[in-house]
């Protein structure tokens, strides 16, 4: 026989202003199986909770219904109170009298009647509730960080420094990412490499970090705390155990005309190469698509010159499997080429560059050793034009969103140009200057006021070449859209930041959602910025949206903190509100017929097949099994199951019917 306690909260006046709480409590007291019913001004307060606890103890309650706010607000509060009084917390239910009743109705009889009905439903439900226990899941304390740019580096170091194991996977031959390509960084003009390369070395030398470069995630299985990652180690064709990184092979390689990815095509590299001198690891790989030996079967110069015999042409791709507990996605972004702005002549004119190419020109490690020179003829440009929003904020031709970093890097580019070419003239065409950030606006003002960069508010219509100059035609909208024509020697386009080409595929591999622009999606735009909607997978940096270095680093540390927090427990506690496939005594074993329709319906890959075996090991029956670590309790499988063999704990069919029947049996 049930002994249910009903506790009606006034929520100050939030509920009692339109609902007659005393009447609700009185009516609840008359319901079958209700042992005790009362109302109180603030049920969530300490005296309110004490009221519940005392009633449980004194009346020996077997279930509790709290008629108050949304369970999203205070269900944990009341369940905890029940548990403290010795009642299983899952025998406590909430009836939402605030959001579902008092806030949305006028004060009248019917509103109170509805409140009584809402309570009645939960009273009938809680009679069917079963005590449940939280699920414990073990945790593998090892994190996988995908991407070795500044985001991945920061996250990996933070996790490793907290004493946890990290595996870093980077698809390029070196870590460092886009930040290693940058010249100097806004707003302080720190040399990018000077602040980054020590951290790259730290990653390589950290005892808690295992670094796999030239590697990609092939496959990810499992669930929070218990992932299994398959990693493809792309064939480097060089045995890193033997290679000393002396670099002899790269100097002797006869294929020297391959556009360098690191220098954004402004410099050349060899087929066996390290991307840049400060690369980590500082050992080469062979780019098989451009290697004479792989393409034509002859050459092997690198093998001949290698003093340690490290070159191994027939090394295949290798696959390794790692058990990991959490994943941090830090795969970064890409720079959009300007195909959709043919009128700017990118690709047609050698001296029309992207911002990232200009970074390489301005970088001391770049193809011109930091001198600003035209790729076409090596001359120093005396007049340079920067075009902000080359693709960003342009729904007609480019992308509708703001790439966020371009205003700042364009100001920096113009500034660096003025610092390097003292008699040069620089112009920036812009829509708005978006310089939100500490010392950012001051930085832009410095470019304009101290360094004399000419800012023109307006768009550029076209660029065409005439007599070795680039005629930039635009409008100055602050001067009444006066047409402006500048004969420039070089043009730099602040192209949009876009997602990486492989982002979509990677997201699908990991069952992580992504947005319309193929950026990875955070779980909540404000309150869960580093989580994904898949438990145990976190993200940081520009793979979520274009962002600058400080923001990336902050986000990376945030993601690391989440991983460290997860790893601080030896077991994971999860709500037991999950689906279960029923099991019964032989010879039935389960009403599940093993059709596994539920398996296809499950959005979380939480259902697997299980073989029920006899004592002799023979398979008696195959049934579905829900993995409690993965199940999110959505209930899709319950709706799909043809033989009603799956039920949701806490929301069983029986409980749901009890609620409905309570309303119908007037």
Stretch that binds another protein, among 326-334, 421-429, 466-474, 486-494 (CB under 8 A): 466-474
Residues 391-410 that bind another protein (CB under 8 A): 396-397
Do the beta carbons of residue 484 and residue 473 sit within 8 Å?
Answer: yes
Q: Cβ 346 to another protein, closest distance in Å?
A: 11
Shortest spacing between CB 396 and another protein, in angstroms: 7
Q: Residue 326 is encoded by which pair of tokens? A: 């959490």
Burial class from Cβ neighbours inside 10 Å (0-12, 13-18, 19+) for residue 554 reads middle
Between residues 300 and 348, which has the closer beta carbon with respect to another protein?
348
**CB-wise, 332 or 345, nearer to another protein?**
345
Output 385 or 572, the one with its CB closest to another protein: 385
What's the closest the beta carbon of residue 462 comes to another protein, in angstroms?
6
DSSP character at residue 146: E
Strand 482-488 relative to strand 619-626: parallel, antiparallel, unpaired? Answer: unpaired
The token pair at 561 is 């903190």
DSSP 497: E
Q: Which span sits near another protein by CB under 8 A: 23-31, 129-137, 156-164, 336-344?
A: 336-344
Q: Which is nearer to another protein, 471 or 597 (CB)?
A: 471
How distant, in Å, are the alpha carbons of 17, 24, 29, 48 from that of 41? 12, 14, 18, 8
* Listed ranges 77-85, 103-111, 321-329, 463-471: which one lies at the site for another protein (CB under 8 A): 463-471
**Which of these segments, 56-64, 149-157, 281-289, 338-346, binds another protein (CB under 8 A)?**
338-346
Nearer to another protein, 180 or 390 (CB): 390
Query: By CB under 8 A, is residue 651 in contact with another protein?
Result: no
| Minimum distance, C-beta of residue 344 to another protein, in the bound complex (Å) | 9
Q: Which stretch binds another protein (CB under 8 A): 191-199, 457-465, 530-538, 586-594?
A: 457-465
Gap between the Cα atoms of 9 and 16, Å rounded = 8
Q: Is residue 471 at the binding interface for another protein, with CB under 8 A as the rule?
A: yes
Q: Phi and psi of 142, rounded to 5°? A: -150, 130
Query: Shortest Cβ distance from residue 463 to another protein (Å)?
Result: 8
Note whether 487 binds another protein by CB under 8 A: no
| Secondary structure of residue 360 in the 3-state scheme | helix
Quote the CA–CA distance of 522 and 531 in Å, as a whole number. 6
Q: Least distance to another protein from the beta carbon of 461, Å?
A: 7
DSSP string of 427-451? EEEES-----STTHHHHHHHHHHTS
CB of 557 closer than 8 Å to CB of 331: no
Contact partners, residue 653, CB within 8 Å, separation at least 6: 638, 644, 647
Q: Is residue 465 at the binding interface for another protein, with CB under 8 A as the rule?
A: yes
With 0-12 / 13-18 / 19 or more C-beta atoms within 10 angstroms meaning exposed / middle / buried, residue 530 is buried
Is position 348 an interface residue for another protein (rule: CB under 8 A)?
Answer: yes
Pick the closer one to another protein by CB: 227 or 344. 344
Which of 342, 347, 436, 468 lies at the binding interface for another protein (CB under 8 A)? 342
Which tokens in the block code for residue 38? 């009362």
**CA separation, residue 241 to residues 244, 281, 283 (Å):** 8, 12, 10
Number of residues that bind another protein (CB under 8 A): 14
Q: How far is the CB of 247 from another protein (least distance, A)?
A: 43
Stretch that binds another protein, among 158-166, 169-177, 339-347, 579-587 (CB under 8 A): 339-347
Distance of closest approach, residue 464 Cβ to another protein, in angstroms: 3
The residue from 53, 469, 473, 509 that contacts another protein (CB under 8 A) is: 473
Q: How crowded is the C-beta side of 603, counted as CA atoms within 13 Å?
A: 9
Is residue 343 close enough to count as binding another protein by CB under 8 A?
Answer: yes
**Which residues does residue 233 pair with via DSSP β-bridges, in sequence order?**
215, 318
**Given CA atoms 195, 198, 204, 205 in this order, what sign does their dihedral have?**
negative
Is 350 one of the binding residues for another protein (CB under 8 A)?
A: no
Q: What crossing angle do the helices spanning 653-664 and 109-128 adopt, rounded to 10°? A: 150
261 binds another protein (CB under 8 A): no
In the bound state with another protein, the residue whose beta carbon lies nearer, of 105 and 473, is 473
240 interacts with another protein by CB under 8 A: no
- What is the CA angle 247-253-258, rounded to 5? 105
**Bridge partners, residue 9, by sequence:** 40
Beta bridge partners of residue 375, listed in sequence order: none
Tell me which residues in 358-397 interact with another protein (CB under 8 A). Answer: 396-397
**Of 122-130, 335-343, 357-365, 645-653, which part binds another protein (CB under 8 A)?**
335-343
- Give me the numbers of helices (H) and strands (E) for the chain, helices first please: 17, 34
Least distance CB 473 / another protein (angstroms): 8
In DSSP notation, 73-141 reads HHHHHHHHHHHHTTS-GGGEEEEE-IIIIITTS-SSHHHHHHHHHHHHHHHHHHHH------EEEE---
Q: Is 462 in the site for another protein (CB under 8 A)?
A: yes
347 forms part of the interface with another protein (CB under 8 A): no
Nearer to another protein, 341 or 538 (CB): 341
Site track 291-330 with another protein (rule: CB under 8 A), x = hit: ----------------------------------------
Binding site for another protein (CB under 8 A): 341-343, 348, 396-397, 461-466, 471, 473
């Amino acid at each position: 026989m049930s002994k249910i306690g009903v506790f009606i909260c006034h929520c100050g006046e939030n509920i009692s202003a339109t609902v007659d709480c005393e009447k609700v409590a009185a009516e609840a007291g008359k319901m079958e199986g209700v042992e005790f019913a009362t109302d109180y001004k603030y049920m969530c307060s300490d005296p309110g909770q004490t009221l519940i606890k005392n009633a449980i103890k004194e009346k020996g309650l077997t279930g509790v219904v709290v008629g108050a706010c949304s369970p999203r607000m205070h269900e944990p509060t009341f369940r905890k109170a029940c548990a403290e009084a010795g009642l299983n917390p899952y025998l406590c239910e909430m009836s939402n009298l605030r959001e579902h009743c008092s806030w949305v109705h006028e004060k009248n009889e019917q509103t109170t009647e509805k409140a009584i009905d809402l309570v009645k439903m939960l009273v009938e439900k809680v009679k069917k509730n079963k005590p449940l226990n939280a699920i414990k899941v073990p945790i593998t304390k090892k994190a996988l960080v995908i991407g070795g740019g500044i985001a991945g580096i920061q996250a990996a170091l933070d996790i490793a420094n907290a004493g946890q194991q990290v595996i870093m996977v980077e698809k390029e031959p070196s870590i460092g990412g886009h930040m290693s390509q940058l010249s100097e960084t806004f707003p302080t003009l720190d040399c990018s490499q000077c602040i980054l390369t020590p951290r790259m070395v730290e990653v390589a030398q950290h005892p808690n970090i295992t670094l796999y470069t030239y590697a990609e995630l092939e496959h990810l299985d499992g669930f929070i705390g218990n992932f299994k990652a398959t990693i493809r180690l792309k064939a480097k064709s060089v045995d890193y155990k033997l290679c000393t990184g002396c670099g002899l092979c790269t100097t002797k390689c006869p294929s020297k005309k391959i556009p360098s990815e690191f220098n954004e095509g402004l410099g050349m590299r060899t087929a066996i190469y390290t991307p840049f001198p400060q690369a980590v690891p500082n050992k080469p790989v062979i780019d098989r698509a451009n290697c004479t030996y792989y393409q034509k079967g002859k050459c092997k110069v690198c093998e001949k010159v290698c003093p340690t015999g490290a070159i191994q042409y027939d090394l295949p791709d290798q696959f390794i499997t790692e058990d990991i507990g959490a994943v941090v996605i830090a795969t970064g972004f890409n720079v959009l080429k300007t195909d959709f702005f043919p009128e700017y002549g990118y690709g047609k004119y050698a001296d029309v560059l992207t911002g990232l190419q200009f970074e390489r020109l301005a970088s001391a490690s770049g193809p011109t050793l930091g001198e600003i020179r035209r790729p076409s003829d090596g001359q120093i440009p005396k007049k340079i034009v920067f075009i902000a929003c080359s693709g960003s904020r342009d729904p007609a031709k480019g992308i509708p969103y703001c790439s966020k970093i371009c205003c700042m890097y364009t100001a920096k580019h113009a500034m660096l140009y003025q610092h390097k070419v003292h008699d040069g003239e620089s112009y920036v065409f812009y829509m708005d200057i978006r310089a939100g950030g500490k010392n950012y606006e001051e930085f832009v003002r410095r470019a304009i006021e101290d360094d004399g960069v000419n800012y023109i508010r307006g768009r550029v219509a076209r660029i065409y070449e005439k007599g070795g100059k680039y005629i930039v035609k635009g409008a100055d909208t602050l001067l009444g859209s006066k047409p402006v024509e500048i004969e420039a020697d070089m043009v730099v386009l602040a192209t949009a930041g876009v997602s990486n080409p492989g982002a979509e595929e990677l997201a699908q591999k990991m069952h992580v959602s992504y947005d319309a622009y193929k950026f990875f999606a955070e779980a909540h735009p404000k309150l869960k910025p580093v989580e994904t909607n898949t438990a145990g997978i976190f993200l940081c940096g520009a793979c979520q949206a274009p962002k600058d270095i400080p923001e990336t680093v902050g986000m990376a540390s945030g993601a690391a903190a989440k991983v460290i927090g997860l790893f601080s427990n030896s077991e994971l506690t999860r709500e037991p509100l999950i689906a279960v496939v029923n099991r019964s005594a032989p010879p039935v074993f389960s009403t599940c017929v093993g059709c596994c329709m539920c398996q296809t319906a499950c959005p979380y890959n939480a259902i697997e097949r299980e073989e029920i075996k006899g004592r002799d090991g023979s398979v008696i029956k195959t049934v579905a099994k829900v993995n409690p670590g993965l199940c999110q309790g959505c209930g899709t499988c319950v709706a799909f199951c043809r033989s009603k063999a799956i039920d949701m704990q806490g929301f069983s069919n029986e409980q749901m019917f009890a609620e409905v029947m309570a309303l119908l049996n007037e």
